[in-house]
Chain A
Amino acid sequence: MEGSANAVGLADLSDRSTLMEILEHVRQRFPNCLESDILLINCCWELFLRWNAQPLILSNELYLTLAYLEKVSSSVLKHNVSTMGWRLFIQKRFEALCTLIEKMGRKPKDRISRKELEMGTN
């Protein structure tokens, strides 16, 4: 068992190194487009979009966004992207929820919340 686990680990390691090698080759060809920060920010944005489309099914995407965002070297960029993400995708849901609570005057039912927040029934 240990042997097979080691083999899998080695395979993963070689896969990773190969992947890094290809990425490095592509980076040499597209140096500006594939700068680390730009790539990480694009990943974050893609995850934001995915989460926004299906927030309940892809709830993990939001945590992943943070993992990518952490690696961004520029703190200004990091702050701006997270602010944009918050304003565009997350804040509107909280606003909708607050409006719903104010309108109903009590804790809304799960079904109504989902409908209002456009979170689907699944």
Chain B
Amino acid sequence: MKVLLKKQDKFLPEDKREKFNQQVVHLVLMLKTAEIRRECLEELIRLSIDEHLIFLAAQQMHQELLQYVEKNELDFENKLVAQMCARIMQVCQCYIKVKGENVVMGNRMSQLIEESENPPDIQQLTENLGGWSGNEVVVARILSLLAFRKSVLKFHIKTGKSDLNFDFSISEMLSHFTLYYSHLVKRSNIEIFEKLPLEIILMNKEPGSEKTRIDSRFVSFDRLSRFLFNGIFTGDHSHLDYLLTDASIYPSNLLLLIFTSWLNTCYSDHWRCWENFSQSLFKIVDTMNDIRKNDESLEENLLFDSTSLDDRLLSPSWIDIIELIYKSTNITSALIAVNMIKSLINKFKLNEKEISELNCITQNEDDAVSSEMAVKNADLQSTHSILSSDNDWETLHMDKENLSLLTKQLEDLFLLDMLLKSNLCSSDAEQQDEQILSSGEPKVTSSPSRPNSVSLSFILGSGPGIVSEIVARWAVHHKVPPELLICSPSADANSLDTKEDTVTVADESTKLKGSVFVSLVLFRTSLLSFFSQSCGRKRKRCWFG
């Protein structure tokens, strides 16, 4: 089969391709043992470039194995292979569907970009974004920041259209999923062979030596996330439904992927995409909570609720997401992502409040039944009212505070990032660079790469002087004149004030010094006159004596 797969060609005519596929499938069906079947599927995934061929081979093998299952003649190992086939089929179907839709989405994306050029109705946008901290000002503030950035940056902001068309093979897609497990997946104690839950590989299989950096522990799935979610950001919500239901990808994995995709693309520049992101995010989280309600026996808490927002209780997915935000160099996307999370928290807190209020009402109804219980409940309610009033005005939960701090830090970083990406004074410098390149002289390699991408983790982890250092590097690179780096006139005025202060202090000190000097001189003269007088007397005495 390896020899056969080496002969495969992407541009084979239809009839020849069919014949080729039949040959491969025929070979696959000839296999007998579970181990060989599994190895064959793995080889097929590794070598084949045609998603239809992989799907066909997996489907045929799956059907053959299911026949044995019906006869109850299949051993445990082969059942695992049958489940593997089902997963491969699911991933292939997902790939074919998403790939087909991404091609169509180009026009939709350009339409969204055009719509985003117009200013939004902020109230409407805030509502569509799920309240965004219950504050329209936040939305307006970010929009104005973006408008400022757009006016400042000379280079053309990426449209996001290019994100839709990139080469992502089926082998790459399949490599991101766990296809083979050593245990059988069951639903209600019944072995299942279709619509199996798909899990993404988050960690590298081989952790490597101790020298390996911590970053390399995680699999980079930015390409997978871009492939899956580009269509969703352009407004295709059926796409997400498919991923959640038919593809059966774990919602917690989808949650991580949606943030990865958002942080690795430039959709945040267009406000119309924010709505799509928000809707998709809410949908995924709702699905997660539904699953949780249905199956409360799950020990692993991968869900998001306000009780698990403390760092110690934060679910693994959310920790990874916050880490992604910290590491992201796409500051605009990170800023919007944090605000989305904040709005999500608000939503859950509101829901909780409604539930607790409902509980109170039902409690009151019960209280009316017995007077003794009513007295007790009245006491309870009074204490509860104190507690709830506390909750109303004192909502300083750690998670919210942390996210507020994160938002503030990202806003600061947004401005810094804008400064570092601006090239307002650098036209000459870039011309010079071009000249150097054209003249064949070596480019300046001593200076570090253009200091135009910063992340929060980089700034926080590089020591206290890093901001000054990178701004200086930027200033030198763009040949910003030193006059511009000196504080503005307002600051100068402040410094002048301080100078005036120092001048007055100096004057006073000179006055003081002068007065001391005068007094010293007077003291000295008085002393001299005293001595001279006393000496005169002595002399006189001597003279007379």
Q: Say whether A36 contacts B487, CB under 8 Å.
A: yes
Q: Is the CB of A47 within 8 A of B476?
A: yes
Question: What separation, in Å, do the CA atoms of A43 and B447 have in the docked complex?
Answer: 12
User: Is B422 touching A22 in the complex (CB atoms < 8 A)?
Assistant: yes
Complex interface: stretch among B6-14, B22-30, B72-80, B462-470: B462-470
B residues in contact with A29, CB < 8 Å:
411-412, 415-416
Pick from B152, B419, B441: contact of A122, CB under 8 Å? B441
Determine if A59 is an interface residue (Cβ-Cβ < 8 Å). Answer: no
Residues of A within 8 A of B488 (CB): 20, 23-24, 27
In the bound complex, how far is the Cα of B340 from the Cα of A71, in angstroms?
45
- Sample of 9 more A-B contacts, CB < 8 Å, known A16-B425, A49-B446, A64-B476: A16-B484, A19-B424, A22-B415, A22-B422, A24-B488, A30-B467, A42-B469, A50-B444, A67-B482
Please report the total number of B residues contacting A with Cβ < 8 Å. Answer: 35
Contacts of B374 in A (CB 8 A): none
Which among A46, A67, A122 has the highest number of chain B CB atoms within 10 Å? A46
User: Which single residue of chain B is at the shortest CB-CB distance from A37?
Assistant: B486
In the complex, what distance in Å separates the CA atom of A5 from the CA atom of B415? 31
Contacts of A20 in B (CB 8 A): 484, 488
Chain A interfacial positions (CB closer than 8 Å to B): 15-16, 18-20, 22-27, 29-30, 33-36, 38-40, 42-43, 45-47, 49-50, 52-54, 57-58, 64, 67-68, 70-71, 122
With A and B bound together, what is the CA distance between A112 and B418 in angstroms? 47
For residue B477, which residue of chain A has the nearest CB?
A: A46
The A interface is mostly helix, strand or loop, or mixed, namely helix
Q: How far is the CA of A15 from the CA of B481 in the complex (A)?
A: 13
Of residues 483 through 498 on chain B, the ones whose CB sits less than 8 Å from some CB of chain A are 483-488, 491
Decide: A23 and B468 in contact? CB cutoff 8 A. Answer: no
Determine whether the beta carbon of B416 is less than 8 Å from that of A46. Answer: no
Q: Contact at B469–A36, with CB atoms within 8 Å?
A: no
Q: Are B469 and A23 in contact (CB under 8 A)?
A: no
Q: Mark B199-235, 1 if CB is under 8 A from A, else 0.
A: 0000000000000000000000000000000000000
Residues of chain A lying within 8 A (CB to CB) of residue B487: 27, 35-36
Question: Are the C-beta atoms of A40 and B485 separated by less than 8 Å?
Answer: yes
Q: Across the interface, which residues of B come within 8 angstroms of A26, CB to CB?
A: 415-416, 419, 471
B292 CB to closest chain A CB (Å) equals 40
Q: In the complex, are the beta carbons of A53 and B446 less than 8 A apart? A: yes
Q: Report whether B424 and A33 are in contact in the complex, using a CB–CB cutoff of 8 Å.
A: no
Which residues in B have their C-beta under 8 angstroms from that of A67? 482
The interface residues of chain A lying within 8 Å CB-to-CB of B484 are 16, 19-20, 23
Closest 7 CB pairs of A and B: A53-B446, A42-B472, A33-B467, A29-B412, A15-B424, A33-B468, A43-B472
CB distance from B408 to the nearest CB of A (A): 9
With A16-B425, A50-B444 as contacts: A33 and B475 at CB distance below 8 Å:
no
B480 at the A/B interface (Cβ < 8 Å)?
yes
The answer to whether A39 and B472 touch (CB under 8 A), given A30-B467, A49-B446, A50-B446, is yes
B485 near A39 with CB under 8 A, answer yes
Q: How far is the CA of A58 from the CA of B444 in the complex (A)?
A: 9
A-B contacts, 16 of them at CB < 8 A, read A16-B484, A22-B152, A23-B419, A27-B487, A27-B488, A29-B415, A30-B467, A33-B467, A34-B468, A35-B487, A36-B487, A40-B486, A43-B485, A50-B447, A58-B446, A70-B482
B100 within 8 A of partner (CB):
no
Check: B473 CB closer than 8 A to any chain A CB: yes
Residues of B within 8 A of A57 (CB): 441-442, 444
A60–B460 alpha-carbon span in the complex (Å): 34
Known: A18-B152, A54-B444. A71 touches B469 (CB 8 A): no
Are B425 and A15 neighbours in the complex by a CB distance under 8 Å? yes
When A29-B415, A39-B468 are in contact, do A71 and B483 touch as well, CB less than 8 Å? Answer: yes
Q: Select from chain A the residue with minimum beta-carbon distance to B476.
A: A46
Instruction: Name the interface residues of B404-449: CB closer than 8 Å to any CB of A.
Output: 411-412, 415-416, 418-419, 422, 424-425, 441-442, 444-447
How far is A58 from B424 in the complex, measured between Cα atoms in Å?
A: 23
Q: Which residues of B contact A38 (CB under 8 A)?
A: 468
Partner pick for A42 among B425, B468, B486, B491, CB 8 A cutoff: B468
- When distances are taken between beta carbons in the complex, the residues of chain B under 8 Å from A19 are 422, 424-425, 480, 484
B485, A25: Cβ atoms closer than 8 Å:
no
Question: Taking the nearest CB of chain B, how far is it from the CB of A4, in angstroms?
Answer: 15
**Which of B412, B442, B465, B468 counts the most chain A CB atoms within 10 A?**
B468
- For A25, give the chain B residue with the smallest CB separation: B415
- Closest approach, in angstroms, between the C-beta of B341 and any C-beta of chain A? 22
Pairwise interchain contact A50-B476, C-beta atoms closer than 8 A: yes
Q: Contact mask B107-125 → A, CB, 8 Å, 1/0?
A: 0000000000000000000
The interface residues of chain A lying within 8 Å CB-to-CB of B445 are 53
- Give the Cβ gap from B152 to chain A, nearest Cβ, in Å: 6
Nearest chain A residue, comparing its CB with the CB of B416: A26
**Closest CB in chain A relative to B14 CB, distance in Å:** 58
Min distance, Cβ A56 to any Cβ of chain B, angstroms? 11
When C-beta atoms are compared, the residue in chain A nearest to B464 turns out to be A33
Which residues from B are CB-within-8-Å of A49? 446
Would you call A43 and B476 a contact (CB within 8 A)? yes
Complex CA–CA separation, A22 to B416 (angstroms): 9
Whether A33 lies near B465 (C-beta < 8 A) is yes
A42–B415 Cα distance when bound, in Å, is 20
CA of A57 to CA of B446, assembled, Å: 11
Q: In whole angstroms, how far apart are the Cα atoms of A35 and B152 in the complex?
A: 23
- In Å, the complex CA distance between A92 and B4 comes to 66
Q: In the complex, which residues of chain B have a beta carbon less than 8 angstroms from the beta carbon of A15? A: 424-425
Q: Hey, which chain B residues are within 8 Å of A70, CB to CB?
A: 482
- Check A71–B416 contact: CB distance below 8 A: no
Please indicate the chain A residues that have their CB under 8 angstroms from the CB of B464 in the complex: 33
Query: Which chain A residues border B446 with CB–CB below 8 Å?
Result: 49-50, 52-54, 58
Chain A residues with CB under 8 A of B415: 22, 25-26, 29
Asked whether B482 lies within 8 Å of A34 as measured between CB atoms, the reply is: no
